[in-house]
Amino acid sequence: MITLRPHDRRGHADHGWLNSWHSFSFADYYDPNEMGFSVLRVINDDTVAPGGGFPTHGHQDMEIVSYVLDGALQHRDSLGNGSVIRPGDVQRMSAGRGIRHSEFNGSDAVPVHFLQIWLLPVERGIAPSYEQKHFAPEDKRDRLRLVASSDGRGGSVTLHQDASLYAGLLGPGANVVFDLPPGRKAYLHLARGKMRLNGQPLVSGDGAKIADETRLELIGEDEAEVLLFDLPA
């Protein structure tokens, strides 16, 4: 079964410096029917204006993944990490028993557009940690590239959860098949572009909750950037 999560039914907040769309309940947006899916808790589609950003704040017991679509996101945290996250980069921060960090637009001229993703960890109270890796566009072209997993296989960043995240860049007519193991769920988020999922059309910002399916067929209709989560039931 595939249940679409239309882009225009997401929560929305416009703070001037931040324009944010929430696939699941977050901050002032609350929908009891949209509290996450499996261990996936948050997908925020954020655009931060030049010079804007999130000042230092804390997190605990959450796996946080940042995926930049355009621009540059500057990160600093209480572990001493400081980095700039650009398109193609995947950052994983395990908040564990507590971490503080800030995120700012790394440019004074252009916005930064990124996805902030939260997953529940398999265990609470772990040591906080940080990881960042780059995945070249050609590695995602017309295929699904593993970018995060529970064991870091294939050069992916490591999640403290039984979940895998794939990223793909699908051109017009690209056809990608993903076999979902029995008993697993999946969530697809179309970051931009147009595509079809098992024949159903999706446009930028749409999501899809997937259960009791074993074969997923993704077909690009124009330049589409897609994230697919393989999740526990």
pLDDT digit string, tens, across residues 116-142: 999 999 999 999 999 999 999 999 999
pLDDT computed for residue 74 by the predictor? 87
pLDDT at 58 over 90: no
The total of structural domains in the chain comes to 1
Residue range(s) defining the domain that contains residue 16: 2-232
Query: Rounded to an integer, what distance in angstroms lies between the CA atom of residue 15 and that of residue 25?
Result: 17
pLDDT at 89 over 90: yes
CATH number at residue 136: 2.60.120.10
Query: Rounded to an integer, what distance in angstroms lies between the CA atom of residue 180 and that of residue 185?
Result: 8
pLDDT computed for residue 129 by the predictor? 92
- The candidate with the shortest Cα–Cα distance to 142, out of 172, 173, 169, is 169
pLDDT computed for residue 75 by the predictor? 82
State the pLDDT confidence band at 73, using cuts at 50, 70 and 90.
very high
